[in-house]
Structure formats: structure tokens, C-alpha cells
Amino acid sequence: MPVALEVLAALAPSVGVGLVFWYAMRAIIRADRRERIALARLEEAEAKGADDAA
């Protein structure tokens, strides 16, 4: 087996795990961003409702 293929075979698992980790972290960060936006909208709606009631 050529040396280049051996090096590629040795690095493939680490690269694969790194890509899975990157994808998972990206999903977590995006979910957090969407949650913060939703909470801000909810708080804004609650504040507007409280102003209307007063």
C-alpha cells in the first residue's frame, strides 16, 4: 500500500469524528440562537400585552 494511502487511512477516522463534532456544535449553536430569538419575541409580546392592559 502506498504511503499516501496509509496516511489517508490513518487520518480518515479523526477527520470523520471532527466533522461529526462540528456538525453537532453547529446544530446546538443554531438551536440556541433560534431559542433566544423566540424568547425575545415572547417577552416583547408579554410586555406589549402588559402595556395594553394598564
In the prediction, which pLDDT does 21 show? 98
DSSP 54: -
pLDDT at position 53 is 66
Give the pLDDT confidence score for residue 50 in this predicted structure.
Answer: 78
Cα separation, 34 vs 19, in Å, equals 22
pTM: 0.73
**Interval 2-54: pLDDT, tens:** 999 999 999 999 999 999 999 999 999 999 999 999 999 999 999 998 777 66
Q: In the prediction, which pLDDT does 14 show?
A: 97
Ramachandran category for residue 18: left, alpha or beta (phi over 0 → left; psi -120 to 50 → alpha): alpha
